[in-house]
Structure 1
């Protein structure tokens, strides 16, 4: 069994204001999960926290990404902490926050070797600012870590790309818009939107990823989980709900072989917004489902 390390990264800097909130509530996620028993169920050997700067909507004129300087600073602090803690003998569980936490994680992994990412998300997160309506880094994080975008974000400490495109599987998008999907389809990312995932088979896609990790002789990989990959009926507490999505059976079938593989370094959980689940109904079910898999690590 690996040593479990819980890392709290309560940032919302990657999101823009929404119709339902002047400030996105995803920064409350770590404390919210703790309140409903996640931390106790996971039982980590240690819990670490990287406090985030105060939320703002500042549009950086150079990168055209909101809060770019603060995100870069936060990612660097996150990297420095994670670099000291993660290894092949540990399994980290990182609680966002929004998806921009992937930047700090990818930087830490890049400093340690060659890694892959299994990116489970109801969106591609593979845009550049010119393609984004919000200019929020949470919709660009995967493209940033793959070196697609302004170098201030994509080449921190001259480490670009943090993750090579061909070492990424982007799985679960269900925003089927030609313009939206074009950037990731033109990339070398292994792309499985929800319809293709189901037609190919979840077991087959996971096996393809694990085979790639071995063939490419990667040092390891992580799983990034944006909870909006789940069906909106079981997880509506997200900023961009959409019809359809993974059932919990599909979800656990994907995660089980990925998280229990010896080359898996950890799991990121992002985007669940406590403000959209005031009674904790959906959060409690999510915790029951996800911890049943994490306990097997």
Structure 2
């Protein structure tokens, strides 16, 4: 791995308010992880905070999404900061925030070349506004980066699609509703739900992904890591909890080869809500497990 840097992206713009007048608490995640020593444990050498537009919550009539203007402005902020870290030779760890930060990150990478996405998430997030019950972009981000949805979000500065469908691996979903899955199954995205992932094996999934990276001669790939992919028993501090999910040993079997790959470009961490774990009961072991995985990938000896 290259030297690790941190980009703080505390956006909650892609979520609906959990109750009237109260913003989603994921915007507190960077400070929360830092308080449990995450930055120090992964030997971060550069930290860049970003300024996120204020949460408005209005649903835009044209695109059908919440906080449209704010998300578009933040995409441009993300571009400046992510380019700065990549140009300096870092492996950025982007600490969210909600999943909407994926759009700005992939919008940025599209101008730099051809990239894939390993989308590790307890949901597919491959829906359009008409399907959404919240109008929250965090539930649509995978569809948006693949070019589905209004051009105001999917074609900023003529970069549509930010990622080609067949360069995306959607891994770990455990929402099996037929109507929810139909758009994804009709796409060219490679799909490993939790059941298929366990049946095929973690190594086979990543090997399949790496083979695509080589065959397509991509410039790199981005890792999306939504913590709701983890078992609800070890990580319930998320907005949409569900039964089952990956154990930490399974997570390591996926992330280690990804992080060690020479074309790994960066990783984003999303959706852990500090307000749902105020004492750090689940966050503390999360920090320990993830930092151990990252340090092992980097060859750090304990």
Fold equivalence (TM over 0.5): yes
Does structure 1 residue 281 correspond to structure 2 residue 281? yes
CA distance in 2, matches of 1:125, 1:219: 25
Aligned counterpart, 2:69: 69
CA distance 1:20–1:193, shift in 2 (3 Å): farther
Aligned counterpart, 1:191: 191
Aligned counterpart, 1:6: 6
Does structure 1 residue 144 correspond to structure 2 residue 149? no
Q: How does 1:102-141 map to 2 (within 5 A)?
A: 102-141=102-141
Q: Does the aligned pair in 2 maintain the 1:87–1:265 contact within 8 Å?
A: no
Q: Does the aligned pair in 2 maintain the 1:88–1:263 contact within 8 Å?
A: no
CA distance in 2, matches of 1:195, 1:42: 31
- 1:168-189 CA distances to partner (integer Å, 9 max, x unpaired)? 0000110110000011111111
Aligned counterpart, 1:267: 267
Please report the RMSD computed on the Cα atoms of aligned residues, expressed in angstroms: 1.3
TM-score by length of 1: 0.97
CA distance in 2, matches of 1:101, 1:87: 20
CA distance in 1, matches of 2:112, 2:2: 18
1:84: Cα distance to partner?
2.5
Runs of 4+ in 1 over 4 A off after TM superposition: none
- 1:48-78 CA distances to partner (integer Å, 9 max, x unpaired)? 1111111221101110100011101101110
CA distance in 2, matches of 1:209, 1:20: 42
**Matched position secondary structure for 1:130:** coil
- 1:190-214 CA distances to partner (integer Å, 9 max, x unpaired)? 1111111111111100100011101
CA distance in 2, matches of 1:129, 1:194: 25
**Matched position secondary structure for 2:223:** strand
- Segment drifting more, 186-195 vs 223-232: 186-195
Aligned counterpart, 2:91: 91
- 1:2-35 CA distances to partner (integer Å, 9 max, x unpaired)? 1211100011000001259821100000000001
Q: Does the aligned pair in 2 maintain the 1:145–1:163 contact within 8 Å?
A: yes
Structure 1: tracts of 5 or more residues without a match: none
TM-score by length of 2: 0.96
Structure 2: tracts of 5 or more residues without a match: none
